Amino acid sequence: MSGCSVPPRRRWRSGGLAASGAVLLAVLPLATGCGIRTTSVPVDAGPAPSRASCAIPQAENSPDAADAAVEQVYLVCGMQTTPVPRTVQVRVRPAGRVAQVRELVAQLHRSVLGDEAKAGFATAVPGTLEVSGPDPGDPDDALRLGQPIGDLPSFALAQIVCTIAVSPLASAGHSVVLGGSEDGSKVRRYTCTPDLRTQPQAADTAGTELP
């Protein structure tokens, strides 16, 4: 020891804030003398180390059937969204684009598979999220979600946009025209940008509003 000591703790019954302040002022010089550097602002030590490998797993083995297809779905791992292959049974392909989009988004509702979970992947898309076609006045290729887009969890918008954008169901230019459930709200055209995939706050300003 270097001869530095801290006064023992005492239980204060009176004096209130003034007594506590006096003790704090008395202890600070002693703490500084012990080599403890004080600071007036919070210190961010960074995120805790992650054990997630984020290694993209192989698609589960496809059965020898003509109705199986490999789809790319975007899942969350290591603070970004990443495409992961999945083998999807398509026994009866739904008629119409909106029904097919629902089928694709349903892949984001489900719990992650075994190898995906082991690698640290997860989904942020709510299991109750619904998808419908355009409202009156929307472009013909617009899609509407069953809740306000601003209420989606972080990265959920990126998962939805990117999963649709890399599929044959995307709009022109591998974009997605998307709106929320608010009455009279405008739809926006989204693309699967690097910012949207890697920054949770990017969803707040992503997309271009359409007239």
Q: Distance between CA 163 and CA 159 in Å, rounded?
A: 6
CB atoms within 10 A of CB 41: 5
CB atoms within 10 A of CB 167: 16
Residue range(s) defining the domain that contains residue 121:
68-209
Q: Is residue 149 part of a domain?
A: yes
Please compute the mean of the pLDDT values over residues 34-41 and round it to a whole number: 37
Q: Is residue 34 part of a domain?
A: no
pLDDT over 60 at 66, yes or no: no
Share of the chain above pLDDT 90, in %: 54
Q: Is residue 2 part of a domain?
A: no
Please compute the mean of the pLDDT values over residues 130-144 and round it to a whole number: 96
Q: Is residue 21 part of a domain?
A: no
Task: Give the CB-side neighbour count of residue 12, counting CA atoms within 13 A.
Answer: 12
Position 95 scores a pLDDT of 76
Rounded to the nearest integer, the mean pLDDT of the chain is: 77
Of 176, 106, 102, 184, residue with least CA distance to 138 = 184
CB atoms within 10 A of CB 66: 8
Backbone angles phi, psi at 115, to 5 degrees: -70, -35
pLDDT in tens, 139-162: 999 999 999 999 999 899 999 999
Q: Distance between CA 54 and CA 120 in Å, rounded?
A: 6
pLDDT in tens, 154-207: 899 999 999 999 999 999 999 999 999 998 899 999 999 999 999 988 988 999
Q: Distance between CA 94 and CA 71 in Å, rounded?
A: 15
